[in-house]
């Protein structure tokens, strides 16, 4: 067996199952799972109708790089959303479809890591665990950079030059999972400066970019800043996007990666050997989803309503704030995240994720220890119900 498999840490939900193993939730109330970031809203009808209409396409092998139509739909959407020059993303060269961001975020490390001695992959802490697994499986040293308590953003510039010189890949998530912090123009410009100075690739996980509170102020994107800086070739930049959160289509496993053409060419070569290709009817469904914004605006409105109501309920009992983007709450909880999650499940049948499972201990400190992640992915009434039950436990544990 590949010894690098043994280095991979248990996934957070495995740890959660172990935490709840000896716990029996109350039988007199409905369980509600707010532990996993899986949207519960119905997928758009027109997407499902497209799959049905195109179902004969399941009889054909798909191409790894995606159809020209899907490449163009992804490129057009990114250019419009991030104010890029028309034609700035060449379909098939600067942008290719992928089977969701998880596949691409993991795979890109396998494509780009290995040219430097003792390579480093830098990432936020807390983090989406795929970043860590990708680094370990590529034979790199994962370096965890704590999200600042005030900004919620990691300070990569604070890493020693000796570490940055060994860095080949840097993951950043905006809006952040789990903090909800959004990377701004200045932070992206600083990352570009560091990437040029130390010769590494920036992988911007922007899968939550379409969930934000203010319709007039969407989160900025890495490619948007790169273009504004005159980097028309998007050198050392990759942005990852998905339909899972934007369009409530986690089961479609459809997204795209866009940016540096040389990196995308190498990544596509790797994906060809792995056999990662999306069935033709699902590619047509993705074209339909990327081409429509009305359902996305409705989605954001539903999240705004949910956040407003839940925060009103939780505010008097927990140290919690509305995120700048995404659909997670990241409250500090009494007794620490593990104890709180276990008590909440035992007393109320509500599942949340202990923050420590998303963080890594560095110099004796895990930045997630005192937190839980709450995914407001269910309907409004169920989220309200869950919020009152969370509040009861929080007040009991104070």
Q: What is the DSSP string of 129-195?
A: HHHHHHHHHTTPEEEEEEBPTTT--B-GGGS-HHHHHHEEEEEEESS-TTT-----HHHHHHHHHHH
Give pLDDT, residue 261. 98
User: Is residue 346 very low, low, confident or very high in pLDDT (cuts 50, 70, 90)?
Assistant: very high
Strands 141-146 and 237-242: unpaired
166 and 302 co-located in one domain: no
Same domain, 357 and 230: no
Euclidean distance between CA atoms 50 and 288, whole angstroms: 8
Mark whether 92 and 165 lie in a shared domain. Answer: yes
Instruction: Please report the pLDDT score of residue 148 as a whole number.
Output: 77
Return all residues near 71 (Cβ < 8 A) that are at least 6 apart.
Answer: 65, 91, 92, 95, 96, 97
Q: How many domains does the chain have?
A: 2
Instruction: Examine the domain organization and report whether 287 and 302 are in the same domain.
Output: no
CATH of the domain at 278: 3.40.640.10
Question: Do 11 and 22 sit in the same domain of this protein?
Answer: yes
Let me know whether 370 and 269 are in one domain.
no
Same domain for 212 and 329, yes or no, is: no
Last residue of a domain, one of 292, 319, 343: 292
**Domain's final residue, options 292, 314, 334:** 292
- The mean pLDDT value of the chain amounts to 96
Tell me what pLDDT residue 150 has: 67
Q: Which domain holds residue 122?
A: 45-292
Query: What pTM value is reported for the model?
Result: 0.96
If asked whether residues 10 and 105 sit together in one domain, one would say no
Stretch 109-132: mean pLDDT: 97
- 143 in the same domain as 253: yes
Judgement on whether residues 10 and 69 belong to the same structural domain of the protein: no
Q: What is the CATH number of the domain that holds 308?
A: 3.90.1150.10
Do 274 and 221 have their domain in common? Answer: yes
208-221 pLDDT, tens digit per residue, is: 999 999 999 999 99
The answer to whether the beta carbons of residues 282 and 297 sit under 8 Å apart is no
> Which of these three, 266, 292, 318, is where a domain ends?
292
């Amino acid at each position: 067996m590949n010894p690098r498999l043994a280095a991979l840490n248990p996934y957070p939900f495995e740890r959660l199952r172990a935490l709840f193993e000896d716990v029996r939730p109350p039988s007199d109330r409905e369980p509600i799972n707010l532990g996993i970031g899986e949207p519960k809203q119905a997928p758009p009808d027109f997407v499902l109708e497209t799959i049905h209409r195109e179902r004969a396409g399941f009889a054909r092998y798909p191409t790894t790089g995606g159809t020209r139509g899907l490449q163009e739909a992804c490129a057009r959407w990114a250019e419009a959303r991030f104010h890029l020059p028309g034609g700035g993303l060449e379909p098939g060269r600067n942008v290719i479809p992928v089977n969701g961001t998880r596949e691409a975020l993991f795979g890109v490390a396998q494509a780009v890591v290995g040219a430097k001695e003792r390579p480093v992959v830098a990432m936020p802490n807390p983090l989406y665990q795929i970043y860590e697994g990708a680094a370990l499986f590529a034979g790199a040293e994962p370096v965890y950079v704590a999200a600042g308590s005030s900004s919620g953003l990691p300070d990569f510039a604070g890493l020693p030059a000796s570490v940055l010189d060994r860095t080949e890949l840097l993951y950043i998530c905006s809006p952040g999972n789990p903090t909800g912090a959004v990377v701004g123009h200045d932070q992206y410009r600083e990352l570009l400066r560091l990437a040029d100075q130390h010769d590494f690739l920036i992988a911007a996980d922007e899968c939550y970019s379409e969930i934000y509170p203010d319709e007039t102020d969407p989160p900025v994107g890495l490619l948007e800043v790169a273009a504004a800086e005159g980097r028309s070739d998007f050198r050392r930049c990759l942005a990852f996007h998905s339909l899972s959160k934007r369009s409530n289509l986690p089961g479609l496993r459809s997204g795209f990666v866009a940016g540096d053409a040389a990196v995308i060419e190498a990544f596509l070569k790797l994906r060809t050997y792995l056999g990662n290709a999306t069935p033709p009817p699902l590619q047509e469904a993705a074209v339909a989803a990327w081409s429509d914004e009305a359902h996305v605006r409705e989605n954001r409105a539903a999240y705004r309503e949910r956040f407003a109501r839940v925060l009103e309920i939780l505010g008097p009992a927990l140290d919690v704030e509305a995120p700048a983007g995404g659909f997670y709450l990241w409250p500090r909880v009494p007794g620490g995240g593990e104890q709180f999650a276990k008590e909440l499940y035992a007393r109320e049948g509500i599942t949340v994720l202990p923050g420590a499972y998303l963080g890594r201990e560095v110099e004796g400190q895990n930045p997630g220890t005192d937190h839980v992640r709450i995914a407001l992915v269910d309907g409004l009434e169920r989220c309200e119900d869950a919020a009152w039950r969370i509040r009861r436990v929080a007040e009991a544990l104070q």
